[in-house]
Each structure stands twice: as structure tokens, then as C-alpha cells.
Amino acid sequence: MLLNLLGCREIINDLQGYYLSSLSHIIIINISLYLNRMKKIVFIVGGAGYIGSHMAKHAVLAGYDVVVLDNLSTGHKDAVKYGKFELCDIKDKTKLDALFKKYQPDAVMHFSAYSIVSESVVDPYKYYDNNVSGTLNLLKTMLDNHCNNVIFSSTAAVFGNPEYVPIDEEHIKKPINPYGRSKLMVEQILEDFSQAYNLKYLVFRYFNAAGHDVDGELSERHDPETHLLPLIMQAARGNRKNIAIFGTDYDTKDGTCIRDYIHVDDLCVAHLSGLNVFFNEGKEVHSNNFNLGNGSGFSVKEVISKVKELTNKDFTVVERERRSGDPAVLIASNIKASKILNFTPNKSKIEDIIKSLI
């Protein structure tokens, strides 16, 4: 698509040079403006964070005009390497409104949220305020400005303790913490808004996003870091003195929790398919939800030993008690995403994910 658009633009540029002296250049310039407008504008809200910054890169390379909106509460300005940047809090309706009027986006990718489960338990207000009220504000501003397409970052946490694995989209949703509940509330709001206001939405429920941009331009920088792979990598680099395993008596092959790791680039490709649904396919697949994982799981011990093998570094592993609220196994069924969005997690072999971190 990018090549097509660039191709058109180059032709138009040539034509503009050729006809500059004649009246017809007005027509050419108008066509050029029209083609420019055909380049869809996408707001990446939360695009200074881990997944959003990778998304901005994918979207720009796919030919979209990207504007990143972020309040930098957990994100980093220097992670915005693709697209324009606008400092904006989604709770600030006036600022949001001004930005929607300025850019007139065709779609919004909504990554902005707080996402630390333990923090959500001790400070639920912070989570409902940002993740739910903030999102309501964003959605209202979208509708006020005739922008009807949104992709929402949801999470496996909406399911709570799984009753079966792999977890498909029909699995009962019983989140066990305020973070998961805040995401489920937004899913329900989206469904209601879609019926009442013709909002088109896609809910993508990520399992464990992992890995970095293969060109090494972008990374994962959460503070505090709570995700397993970055923590193990810190231990492998000697930046933390050990890695803790929480629970070694689960009903799994080696007693440690099993998780489904999905490379961030695979998530981004799924989002591009989502934009395609809005802009090109015209199929009635919008206003739908999808679980995004690689469909297989690795135990904490397996991940640690793979990192040791691939980095050739040894580090201390300590075994601790179970943490409350950690299900033994979380694995996604990605059958629906693969059927409808052609989702193929090409980069999500655990070796490839770890190699992207080295």
C-alpha cells in the first residue's frame, strides 16, 4: 500500500513539474491533495509506551499518517520514533477535542492505560479513573468528531482464572482484579456504543506481549518492570541479582506457571489487519473481539532455561511462595483471529522472542 501511494505521489510530482506553467497544475494539485487525504490518519493513543511505540513504527511503514498522543505517565518521549507526537492526557477533553479537530483521524488505536495488576488492587480508583473514565472521554471525543473506528488493547486478565485452555473468545469473563475489570468494562462500553452510536471497534486481548523491534530501535521500558522476560534479561545482564519464581507447586509439568508469549511485532501486524478491516475489506467483522496469543505456553522454568541457553549466561534463581491471583496456565486460542484476520504469529517462537531481546 505504501508503495502504491508513493508511486502515485511520484507520478503526481512529475506531472506537477511538467505542467507547472499551465492552468492544469491546479487540477493536478487538487488530485495530489486528494491522494494525500487518502493516506489514512491514525491516532496511536499511548504510543510512547512499549506496544504503542512499536505500533507507530509498523503503521508508518505501512503507509499511515501517525499521530501519537500520550501523557508520558509510563511512556517515554524518546520512544516515539515514528509519527508526530502530541502531549495529551485522555482525561483532558478540551485538548483531545482540539487534536481531533486539527488532524481529523480516520481511526484510533487505544493503548493508553495503567496495567500493573498489583497496583490496581491497592489503588483501584487510579485504574477505573484512567482506564474507564479516560476511555469514555476518548470515545465521546471520537464520536463528537465523527471518528468511528477504534482498536482497543484489552487483556487476558478479563477472563480471570481459566476454566479451560486454550482460552477462546467465548470463555466466561470473570476478572479477578480491578485492572481486568477496568478492561472488561471498556469492552462492554464499546459493545453498547457500537449498537447505539454505530461505533466500529475491534477488541484485541493480548496475552503476554514480549520481545523487541528486530531492528533494535525500540524496547520495553516499564518502571517498575513486572513482566517476566525483561526481568530475566536484567538478571542475565547482571542488572539484578536474581530472578524469583513465584510458586513451584502448580499443577503443571514442572510446577511453575505457564504463559503464552506473543511477539510485539505479531501484535502490531494484527492491528494493521484491524485497520484493513475498517478501511478496505468492508466485511462485517468490525465490532468484534479477538484473543491474541501464539497458542502455546511455556513455563517460567522453561523460559529461564531458554534465556540461559541463548545468552550463555548463568544467574541465580530463587523460589518463592505463590502470589495470589496467578492462574496456573494462560494460553490463548488464536483460531478466531487466524480465520478472520489471517493472524499468524510468525515471530512468536520463544527462541525468536528471546533473541530479539539480546
Ligand X SMILES: NC(=O)c1ccc[n+]([C@@H]2O[C@H](COP(=O)([O-])OP(=O)(O)OC[C@H]3O[C@@H](n4cnc5c(N)ncnc54)[C@H](O)[C@@H]3O)[C@@H](O)[C@H]2O)c1
Give the Cα separation of 302 and 230 in Å (integer): 15
> Exposure of 284 by Cβ count < 10 A (0-12 exposed, 13-18 middle, 19+ buried)?
exposed
Segment lying near ligand X (by CB under 6 A), choices 12-20, 47-55, 240-248, 320-328: 47-55
* Residue 5 vs 231, nearer CB to ligand X: 231
Give whichever of 209 and 350 is closer to ligand X, judged by the CB atom.
Answer: 209
Residue 123 binds ligand X, judged by CB under 6 A: no
Pairing of the two strands 258-259 and 298-299: antiparallel
Minimum Å gap between C-beta 325 and ligand X is: 15
3-state helix, strand, coil in the chain (%, to 5): 45, 15, 35
Residue among 224 and 282 whose Cβ is closer to ligand X: 224
| Cα gap 257→246, rounded to integer Å | 8
**CB-hemisphere CA count at 13 Å for 310?**
17
Environment class of residue 246 by beta-carbon count within 10 Å: exposed (0-12), middle (13-18) or buried (19+)? Answer: middle
293 is an interface residue for ligand X by CB under 6 A:
no
Footprint of ligand X on residues 184-213 (CB under 6 A)? 206, 208-209
Among 50, 64, 179, 250, which one carries the catalytic annotation?
179
Task: Please identify which residue in 32, 49, 139, 330 interacts with ligand X, judged by CB under 6 A.
Answer: 49
The crossing angle, in degrees rounded to 10, of helices 178-197 and 134-144 is: 20
Taking the complex as a whole, how short is the minimal distance between the CB of residue 242 and ligand X, in angstroms?
A: 23
Quick one: which of 83, 134, 160, 295 contacts ligand X (CB under 6 A)? 134
Residues 164, 168, 170, 176, CA torsion sign: positive
The torsion angle over the Cα atoms of residues 103, 197, 112 and 128, rounded to 10 degrees, is 140
Instruction: Find the shortest distance in angstroms from Cβ 45 to ligand X.
Output: 6
Which residues within the stretch 73-102 sit at the binding site for ligand X (CB under 6 A)?
Answer: 73-75, 89-91
> How many positions of this chain bind ligand X (CB under 6 A)?
27
User: In angstroms, what is the minimal distance from the CB of 292 to ligand X?
Assistant: 9
Sign of the CA dihedral with 152 first, then 156, 162, and 164 last: positive
Contact 16, 29 (CB under 8 A): yes
Q: Does 46 bind ligand X (CB under 6 A)?
A: yes
**Given candidates 12, 42, 44, 51, which one binds ligand X under the rule CB under 6 A?**
51
User: Which candidate, 234, 214, 237, 210, places its Cα nearest to that of 224?
Assistant: 234
Catalytic (active site) residue 82: no
16 vs 133, which CB is nearer to ligand X? 133
The answer to whether residue 48 forms part of the interface with ligand X (CB under 6 A) is yes
d(CA 240, CA 266): 29
Give the nearest distance from C-beta 215 to ligand X in angstroms: 18
| Single residue of 64, 85, 100, 111 touching ligand X by CB under 6 A | 111
Give whichever of 75 and 105 is closer to ligand X, judged by the CB atom.
75
Which one among 135, 153, 334, 356 touches ligand X, defined by CB under 6 A? 153
Q: Does 70 bind ligand X (CB under 6 A)?
A: yes
Closest distance to ligand X from the beta carbon of 217 (Å): 16
Contact 221, 79 (CB under 8 A): yes
Query: Given the complex with ligand X, which of 226 and 346 has the nearer CB atom?
Result: 226
Distance of alpha carbon 330 from alpha carbon 324, whole angstroms: 15
Q: Least distance in Å: CB of 253 to ligand X?
A: 23
Closest to 285 measured CA to CA, from 229, 170, 202:
202
Do 270 and 337 meet the contact criterion of CB atoms below 8 Å apart? yes
**Which stretches of the chain bind ligand X, using CB under 6 A?**
46, 48-52, 70-75, 89-91, 111-113, 115, 130, 134, 153, 155, 206, 208-209, 222
Enzyme catalytic residues:
179
